[in-house]
Every structure is written in C-alpha cells, then in structure tokens.
Amino acid sequence: MPPAADNARTAPVKGEVAFLFIGGAHQVYHLAPAAAELSRLLPRCIVTCFTNDAATAEALRQVREVLHAPEMRIESIRPPLWGRMLAAVTGRRSSLKTPLLFSLSRRLRRAVAVVTPERTSAKLRTMGLRDTLMIHFRHGAGDRAPESERRQSAFDLVVVPGEKDLRRAAEKGYLPPAKLRAGGYLKLEFLSRLTRTVPPIFDNDRPVVLYNPHFDATISSLPWARQVIEQFAGQSRYNLVFAPHMRAAENMDTAEREAWLRLARDGQILVDLDSPRLIDMSYALAADIYLGDMSSQLYEFLVRPRPVAFLNAHHAAWRDDPRFAGWALGQVAEAPEDVISTIDRAVAGQPDRAARQQAAVQDAFGDVQGAALRGAQVIAAALADRAAGPHPETAEAVVGASA
C-alpha cells in the first residue's frame, strides 16, 4: 500500500456524507450497505440517506436494521411543487429527479461528499457543487453501455462491482483508471445476510420461468410480452413469473396496470409489477429458468448456474456485440412464438454452459464477501484524502486505500 493511502486512513474526517436514493427502491441494496458500514467506520461523520418515496425508505430501514447501523440517518424529501407539476405533465416519475436535485442542492453544498447509485446526480455539478467530492456506485452489473455513462466523468470516483466494468470503462475512455475502483457486488452480499427461506411460487412441480424484461423501450422485449405470455398460457410444461424491471411500470396508469394483471392465471402465470420481490432476488432464487433481454438481473440469477434464454425483440446483430455478451450464456429467440422451443434448447444445453456462466458471474460481481465494507473504505479514503489537501499521490491513495 502506498504511503499516501496510510495517510488517507488516519486523517481526521467529519461532516455530513449525503447518500442520494432518488431513483427508486431497486437501487438501495447497491449502495445503502456501504452507507451503513461508513456510519460505523467514521463515527465523527453524519451519514444521511435521502429518499423521496416510501418503498425506498422502507428498504433503507431494512438495511439499517440488518446491518445494525442505528447512526445511519434516513431523511425523506419532497419534490418542489414545480417538480410535481412537471411529472404530472410528462407522465414520467423520472421527471422528479432534476427538481429533487435542485431543491437539495443548497443543503448538499454543505456536505463533505455526495454518494449516489444513479447518474442523473451528475447535474449537481451545475447546481453549485462544483468542488464537492462526488462518488458514484454503479447499480447492476449488466453488459449494456448506455450513453448516460458519459455522465460518470462528473464524479471524482466511480465504484463498480467487478473486473468487467473496469475493462469496459477503459475501452470507452470515459474515466481515467485512477478514478475507478472495483469493490464487489454489494446487493448480493447484503441479501446473503438475510435469514430467509424462499417459498414455492406455485403449488405444482412444473419448472418456473422468470421473465424479466428491461424498462428501456430501445432494448426491451416488452413489445413482445403479451405474445410471450400467451405462449405460456397455451402449454402445460412450464410456469411463468412475469416480473419486469420495476421501472417498467412506474409510469403506467391504473388501466394499464390492470390490463397486465389480468394476464395472470392461477397456478400457472404470476404477474408482478411492483412488489418488493422484484428487487430482493426472491424470484431469481426461486425460479428454474431465466427469460429476459438486457437486464443485469441475468447475473443475479446466474449466481446459481441455470438455463437462460433471451428475446431478440429488436432484431439486433448481437453475436459480435459486447453489449449482448450475456446472450452467449443461453439461447436466443428471434420471434415470440419461438420462446418455448428456445427454453427447451436452453434446458437441454445447460450442462455445457454452467462453467461459462460461473466465470461470467465472477467477472461481473468480483469478490462479493466484504463488498459493503470495501465500499465504505473507498469513501472514507477519498474523504480523508480530500481533507488532507491535494498532493501528487491523491488518486493513488483513493484507489489503493481499500485494496
């Protein structure tokens, strides 16, 4: 460990560290465990988690309780009136993010650091936080590289789960290596601490397929979803859990939600648009087969290697595209009517893919054990380094302090 890293560990740090959870409850487990660990690691700091919805607040309370971190504060915030009006006009819940950041910006200027699991918070750089230490923890560990990743350059430090993300960042050139750190998959470590048994989803012994389409219309198989569900309704060998990414339903009105829910069938097809089971790996643990498109939940499912299949709803030339690397771990359907036969092929070929799936998970998630503490140590080192003042080895200290 370089000498500067030792200095970063011992330099006194105090003040408020603000953790922003404004993107939805699905982001909590990717960062909040590090906030809990930081509240113990730096008792002179005030660790505050900001949220604007009840589901996120409940998930934060769960993390605080499970990790025995009573000093981790949870503060509810309300979007300004103009922000609520904007969301009502656009019909998009995500429209609340910028107004929330704007209303918080004055408070955040007094924080010693802002830590966030989403990239919209990069806008704080234009809201008066020009010199504030800002750290981004990537949520998820999928293969796609959205244009929004360019926002990462606004952060002083970006923490990713595993080596795969380090390679991708180097290839894209968005960030210098000194600004990057692979810390492990916090969500998986936290959920492994929960003492729970996952009850059977259905009261029969048919294999369960988890269908998990992404929310992004440009890559999602949701346009095929009703046809896919019809394929399952017309057979009797598989059960289906239709559990799209939580954001897929965030802008649906009541009529849209009810239309999806009516597709459920007792004992055969379950439809879940917004329960906590969408984010706590309940379905990933209980299902036998995964069906999806571009969601990083693929790798959460493959923590225990099992058959996986994908829907190429946008007719992508996926075979040589690194954004679709996960598709090589299973079978791909090119039309909704092919979904059952594609799943059959995935099941038949699983013995030949298990080792590759296991290697892909390791590459994506890194060392899971101790991930929350490593994340807290990265933050603490960056804080101490900033408090100690600039010196030539600053970047090395931040990255190396938790090695």
Please write the tens of the pLDDT for every residue from 16-59.
999 999 988 999 999 999 999 999 999 999 999 999 999 999 99
pLDDT at residue 401 tops 70: no
pLDDT at 147 over 60: no
pLDDT in tens, 262-305: 999 999 999 999 999 999 999 999 999 999 999 889 999 999 99
User: What pLDDT, in 10s, does the model give residues 57-70?
Assistant: 999 999 999 999 99
pLDDT greater than 60 at residue 84: yes
Query: For the chain, what percent of residues have pLDDT higher than 90?
Result: 67
pLDDT value, residue 5: 40
Structure-token match 């225990």, residue found: 304
Amino acid found at 221: S
Contact 376, 159 (CB under 8 A): no
Predicted local confidence at residue 149, as pLDDT: 63
Instruction: Annotate 215-261 with DSSP letters as a single string.
Output: S-TTT--HHHHHHHHHHHHT-SS-EEEE---GGGGTT--HHHHHHHH
Instruction: Grade residue 396 by pLDDT with cuts at 50, 70 and 90.
Output: very low
Residues 27 and 50: beta-carbon distance below 8 Å: no
Length of the chain: 403
- CB environment 224-249: b (16+ within 10 A), e (fewer): bbeebbebbeeeeebbbbbbbbbbbb
pLDDT at 259 over 90: yes
User: What pLDDT digit, counting tens, does each position of 85-134 carry?
Assistant: 776 666 666 678 888 899 899 999 999 999 999 988 999 999 999 999 99
Query: Can you tell me the mean pLDDT for 348-372?
Result: 95
Q: What is the mean pLDDT of the chain?
A: 88
**pLDDT interval class at 397 (50, 70, 90):** very low
pTM attached to this predicted model: 0.88
